Amino acid sequence: MRKTDLRAYAAVRRLRENPNLGEFRMRAALAQIGIHLGARTVGRILAVNRKLYGLSMPKGPTKESHNFADFAPGSMD
């Protein structure tokens, strides 16, 4: 018996329109609509969708690089 069904795959594909959703955020979004799966299971579904539809990996948040010399003692005078 499988934990997933076509409803779960369709929901993941529909929610995947937001490219910032990784497996943990996707799991939370699925839980809000009543589909309860583990994070790893959601990750497997995302991998299948990436392979089938040629989607890219989700992009994480952009981080600004900090110049820590700006925060050195005495530089904030």
Domain assignment present for 11: yes
Distance CA 10, CA 35 (A): 11
> Is 75 part of any domain?
no
Tell me whether residue 61 is in a domain.
no
Q: How many domains does the chain have?
A: 1
In a domain, 58, yes or no: no
Give pTM, 2 decimals. Answer: 0.66
End-to-end CA distance of the chain: 66
60, part of any domain:
no
In a domain, 63, yes or no: no
- pLDDT band (50, 70, 90) for residue 16: confident
Structural domain contains residue 18: yes
Give the 3-state secondary structure of residue 5.
coil
Q: Does residue 41 sit within a domain?
A: yes
Identify the domain containing residue 24 by its residue range. Answer: 6-53
Mean pLDDT within 22-44: 91
Span 8-20, mean pLDDT?
86
Confidence class for position 68, pLDDT limits 50, 70, 90: low
